[in-house]
Chains A and B, each alone.
Chain A
Amino acid sequence: MSDCQAEKELLARARNCPEAFGRLYDQNYSAILNYCIRRTGDVELAQDITAETFVKALKNIGRFQWRSVGSFSAWLYRIAGNELADCFRKGASREVSLEYLRESQGFEPVALHELEAELIAAQETLARHQEFLACRQEISLLPLKYQEVIALRFFAGKSHKEMAEVLGKPEGTVKSLLHRGLEKLRNQQSKKC
């Protein structure tokens, strides 16, 4: 069975089966979290956006259409991209669905100290990548549409085709956006100098 076929079957089961959704979650959590970290430069905010992304994915999994997205992963990137854009527009303050889940369902979270310790360690890891953070800072000054294509290409390692699937735009448009985004990035830097 091909990977695509396997993912389709898993996705079909995930609509009603928590275990199947759990597998999809495990397959994509790390990629989405790191994409969000690289976009925001903030581990805690990235965790919140990641949580929101999966909550929305779970809530809307019945509406997922292969034809329009191409893969579950691309769909998650699209949701995450929307959440990031929303976050950038509104600022860092966010209402997190995860908190809602905890409160409304009486769910007992893992030990808070464990989460806090992990968060500190993750932030330290991030802080060690100064070159990346400087680069991210420059990119974050670009219009959102250019940030998005550059991040998908260089922070998530997506091909033009995959970027087109995530953004729901033709491949040619994506290439053009990427080209112009890089051009703007270079011009932006040269003006500073």
Chain B
Amino acid sequence: MKNIFDAEKNKLPVLLENLELPEVQTPAHQRHLRESLLASSYFKEGAVQLSTRQKIGRFIAPGFTLMKPKAWRLVVSLAVLFLALGAYRAFFVAPQAVASLTLQVNPGITMTISARNKVLDAEALDAPGEALLTRLDVAGKEVPEVLRLMAGALREAGLLAPERRIVVALYAIEEGLRPAERLTPPELSALTENVRQSLLGYMLEQGLPVEVKVAEVTAELDYVARAIGLLPIDYVDYVAEAGYPLAKEVLKLQKELGIDPALFKEQLGTIRAALVDIRKAGIESQIDALAILKVALAADPKLQKLTTITAAMMDLAEKGLSKETALAKIQAAIKTDPTLQNFDDLLELPEKEADEATENGTPPPEAPQRDTPRPVTPEADAPLKEADDAENGAPPPDTPPDKPEESADDD
């Protein structure tokens, strides 16, 4: 036999190609193997092993398996990317606080809440609040669960007696958040309602006749109030009665007029009563009410004559003077006698003048409106004007800059 490897170098492939190859036929084996294979359990449902793509496709959609491998890889890559981002956000990016909730019984506690209605952290406002938080683990829990935990702890501590009240104030956090991340007014309302129902539900279950007051406020109002030392339990009723933004603008007067914060806080009830009187005197406009109050507070920084001024306002209104005229007279009287010693005398109207005023509603000559300084700056006027417009049925502005979501409910 000639050895093909003896061939010259270039002829080896040719010789190999021409090598006579054995061609074996084994039909019995072929048939036997065929029958074995086709009878095998691999053809039963699910026995044939599928690729990962096909397994996923069976669960997701039949069309998924028809995707080209490139497209499938892209889909999987994107899914992995999103999962990775999700995991990154979940584990490495702290959830942002979108709302603040202050609960006071007292104890007082302020919590920040995430977009998923979970408590991110809690801060005590006082020593009892501190003691309460040391007993409770609230971070990461749902708001209703935390409220029930707190209510339970308060009940056990005997702090939910019938004469007490629970005050909760919520506001949406805007600082540091993109508009899309902020709570919308309906979302804040939903959270507020959730809080209300959680607390009321607990009180009902436990048969506790405790008043629950839940109010939506604003971050700005809370900031201004806290600057004076007012916490929600101090101001929610005042805000409910005075209305927002008047309540906020009035609180700002403390700083603007340099009134002692402690005195302002102490006399908030008087201010609140004065505002009610002003309203009763027919001064429905929040701008006018603020103007009167500002004049009065500027003239009486110790808040000793505030009710006198507002009472005078009511008297003038009863005598038939228009609110513009009455305001002008009060401002003129204060201007004439800043000590307010002769305030009542200065406001006395001659009968004739009063009659004329009653007839035509024109302001008296001694108090011309052109001389009347407008005590409220245009900037401060804007939200109040909007509130006034809203009360008068005027269409709201396109974009309310700080539209209040004041809703204080007694339950």
Contacts and interface: CB of A to CB of B under 8 A. Distances in A.
A118 B28 contact: yes
B134 interface: no
A37 B22 contact: yes
B16 A30 contact: no
Contacts of A25: 33-34, 37
B25 A30 contact: yes
20 contacts: A21-B43, A22-B37, A26-B34, A33-B30, A38-B22, A50-B33, A59-B48, A61-B48, A62-B48, A65-B51, A101-B39, A118-B28, A118-B29, A122-B25, A128-B22, A131-B1, A135-B19, A186-B9, A186-B12, A189-B6
Interface in A41-67: 43, 47, 50-51, 54-55, 58-63, 65, 67
A107 B39 contact: yes
Nearest to A54: B37
Contacts of A22: 34, 37-38
Contact of A107 (B22, B28, B36): B36
A55 B41 CA distance: 11
Given A29-B33, A130-B1, A59 B22 contact: no
A62 B54 CA distance: 8
B40 interface: yes
Contact of B48 (A16, A19, A105, A153): A16
Nearest to A127: B22
Nearest to B51: A63
Contacts of A101: 36-37, 39-40
A135 B16 contact: yes
B32 interface: yes
Interface in B3-59: 3-6, 9, 12-13, 16-17, 19-43, 48-51, 54
Contacts of A6: none
A78 interface: no
Interface string A71-105: 00000000000000000000000000010011011
Q: Nearest 7 A-B pairs (CB), nearest first?
A: A189-B5, A62-B50, A18-B38, A154-B16, A129-B22, A63-B51, A122-B24
Given A38-B22, A62-B51, A182-B13, A105 B33 contact: no
Contact of B28 (A110, A131, A132, A150): A110
Interface in B204-229: none
A185 B5 contact: yes
B400 interface: no
Contacts of B21: 34, 38, 129, 132, 155
Nearest to A138: B5
Given A62-B48, A62-B51, A154-B16, 15 more contacts: A22-B34, A22-B38, A25-B37, A54-B33, A55-B37, A55-B40, A63-B51, A98-B36, A101-B40, A105-B41, A119-B29, A125-B22, A134-B1, A186-B9, A190-B5
Interface string A105-144: 1010110001101110010011011111011001000000
B12 to A, nearest CB: 6
Contacts of B39: 18, 101, 105, 107
A160 interface: no
A183 to B, nearest CB: 9
Given A59-B49, A62-B48, A65-B69, A132 B20 contact: yes
A153 B13 CA distance: 10
Contacts of A33: 24, 26, 29-30
Contacts of B22: 34, 37-38, 125-126, 128-129, 132
A63 B49 contact: yes
A140 B243 CA distance: 98
A49 to B, nearest CB: 12
Interface centre among B13, B20, B22 (most CB of A within 10 A): B22
Chain B interface bracket (under 10, 10 to 19, 20 to 34, 35 or more): 35 or more
A135 B17 CA distance: 12
A164 B51 CA distance: 23
Interface string B240-263: 000000000000000000000000
Contacts of B31: 110
A30 B30 contact: yes
A131 B9 contact: no
A59 B41 CA distance: 10
Contact of B16 (A58, A150, A190): A150
Contacts of A15: 48
A20 to B, nearest CB: 10
B26 A43 contact: yes
A115 B51 CA distance: 36
Interface string A1-39: 000000000000001111101100110011001100110
Nearest to B35: A107
Given A105-B41, A129-B21, A186-B9, A63 B36 contact: no
A97 B334 CA distance: 110
Contacts of B20: 129, 131-132
Nearest to B9: A186
A67 B28 CA distance: 34
Contacts of A132: 19-22
A21 B38 contact: yes
A114 B22 CA distance: 21
Contact of B32 (A59, A104, A109, A117): A109
